[in-house]
Structure 1
Amino acid sequence: MKVRGERECQECGTRWSYYETGTVECPECESLRSVGLDERTTHTDTPVRLDLSTHRSRFGESRELLPEDEDGVDMIKSDLREYTRKRGFIRGGKLLTLDATYLAACELLEAVDLYDRLRDPTDADRDYLLSLLAGAEDGDRPSTGNVPDAFREARGMAAVRAVEEYRSDLLVFIDELDPKSEIADIDDASDTTDPSGADIDTASGVSRTARTRDLLEQLRDRTKRVEALGGDVAPAAADSLVDAANAIGEFIRDGDGDALARAQDTLSEHST
């Protein structure tokens, strides 16, 4: 959606940023009567903090690792879903990265659901889940080598969910770009501009926007293949989806030719 980020209260004159508070309510007098002071910009992110402290206590007190009452399991799933639902990757017209905390929240949600269905979890399975729970707020996830076989699906499906959400925002961001400044220039003397304003690589005749959309389509195909496997791929292959998505985002955001090459190489190298 598009919002006016800089707001002024019509009651007390306080000014604040909607991008920081996520509300049109005045932080001083709580009045809902405010006006926007700037132009509308695309904004999909909501200020929200991932707080799992209550759930860490519940997990620690349970003899079975997961809370023994079903409500405890449902609560952590609900909190993780709410966090991921509120998150986005465009803040005040600026494209963000697919960050580690969002990824960890997605993986923990998948892992809790999967662990709850395991008949005979191993010590490695328990350690993995506890490690995720302990580090998710800071974006710390177990390395690919420390993901138990039983949780390959959790890692894979977390990547699928996260990358699809990020890809969706990337497409929104591209659509909102000014046609005459679609993507920041890459240092390439062979580039020029077509009459519509889109950058053209004269060697290939392909606009940068078209190249980006082609990469996003390749990323979508890769993601769909992993999803069709239920996420059951090597953890490194799952993480490569995230790497490719962030490289594409970097190219869109900064016009970095190295990022473009990195995205192409990653998508080619880790084909499923």
Structure 2
Amino acid sequence: MRIRGERECWDCGRQWSYYETGSVSCPDCGSIGSTGLGDRERHTADPVELDLSPARQLAGQERWEAALEEAIERCGEYVRRQGFLRGGELLAFEDTYLAAAELRAVARQQQRDLRVGDDEEIYLLALLRGADIGERPSPGEVPATEAMRSARALAYAKAIKEYRSEVSAYLGDHPNPEAASVLGTVAEHVKRVQALDGDVDLRTIEALVDATKGVGRAIREDNEGALAAARDRLGRL
């Protein structure tokens, strides 16, 4: 949506940025009456942080059912609120978002399987330790079971689709035909991953992640080299 993120309080005159606080209340007096300043800009990103400390603590106590539920809830809230447009600016496609989406999907899958095996436990602990600081397990660290590998592939495919949607909205205001073309190729690959229910080589989905990051970087930094690298990655799939 488009909003006037720079606000001025009717009561005390304080000016603040909704883009930064995510709150319509004046940070000084608490009034919710304010005037929008400047132009309306596309904005989808709420100020939100991912904190998995409670889930890690539960896992450390071998309370896996509670740990999974906590991780699902916290990752779900983060993914829902972490948009990619802030005050008209395109944000990066970051690993914290990907790891949160992956952990939520894997935890849900593990809830259905009821039993946490040794490989799954190591994988889940790696996600719990690293997701909130932007660390993801490598493709080789994902357990060889079809369920775990599909969970990762589908989580990443959905994340890429969400990012692509917001990049497309951004390109509506800042046309870039070459970037749009590469995004279209990404979309076709994502459709294939989803049609196959995630049954793809994890190196393929990783290449799609890298290509998507490259498109975002190309747009944000006006970096033709990043766009060429993204196109090359897709061409080798």
TM-score bracket relative to the smaller structure: over 0.9
1:195 maps to what in 2? none
CA distance in 2, matches of 1:53, 1:164: 29
- Give how far 1:46 is off: 0.6
C-alpha distance after superposition, 1:127-185 (max 9, x if no partner): 000110111110111112211112211221121111001000110000022xxxx4xxx
2:115 pairs with 1:115: no
Tell me which residue corresponds to 2:65. 66
2:110 corresponds to which letter in structure 1?
Answer: Y
CA distance in 2 between counterparts of 1:139 and 1:13 reads 38
Question: Given the superposition, is the C-alpha separation of residues 15 and 167 from structure 1 closer, same or farther in structure 2, using an over 3 Å criterion?
Answer: same
Distance in 2 between the 1:159 and 1:266 partners?
A: 17
Is 1:153 aligned to residue 150 of structure 2? yes
Q: Secondary structure, in 3 states, of the residue corresponding to 1:140?
A: coil
TM-score after normalising by structure 2:
0.92
Equivalent in the alignment of 2:93? 98
Contact 2:54 2:70 in 1 (8 A): no
Give the % identical residues.
43
- Superposition deviation, residue 95 in structure 1: 0.9
* Candidates 150, 157, 163, aligned match of 2:160: 163
- CA shift, 1:42, in A, is 1.1
- Residue 6, structure 1, aligned to residue 6, structure 2: yes
Where do 1:75-224 residues align within 5 Å? 75-118=70-113, 121-150=116-145, 151-177=148-174, 182=175, 209-224=176-191
The aligned counterpart of 1:205 is none
- Unaligned stretches of 5+ residues in structure 2: none
Give 1:245's aligned residue: 212
- Matched position secondary structure for 2:199: coil
Residue 263 (structure 1) aligned with residue 209 (structure 2): no
User: What do residues 177-227 of structure 1 show as CA deviations (whole Å, max 9, x unaligned)?
Assistant: 2xxxx4xxxxxxxxxxxxxxxxxxxxxxxxxx3332222111111001111
Aligned mates of 2:181, 2:215 — CA distance in 1: 11
SS at match of 2:73: helix
Q: Return the structure number with greater helix share.
A: 2
Query: Which deviates more from structure 2 when the two are superposed, residues 247-256 or residues 126-135?
Result: 247-256
Give the drift of 1:75.
4.2
Q: Distance in 2 between matches of 1:111 and 1:229?
A: 18
- Contact 2:193/2:199 (<8 A) preserved: yes
The secondary structure found in structure 2 opposite 1:62 is: coil
Q: Quick check: 2:3–2:40 contact (8 Å CA) kept in 1? A: yes
Change (3 A) 1:120 1:82: closer
Structure 1: which 5+ runs fail to align? 183-208
The aligned amino acid for 1:127 is I
Contact 2:18/2:24 (CA < 8 Å) preserved in 1? yes
2:196 maps to which residue? Answer: 229
- TM-superposition CA deviations, 1:9-63 (whole Å, max 9, x none): 1111222111111121111211101112221111111101112222222222235
Q: Indicate the SS of the match to 2:3.
A: strand
- TM-score normalised by length of structure 1: 0.81
Matched with 1:34 is 34
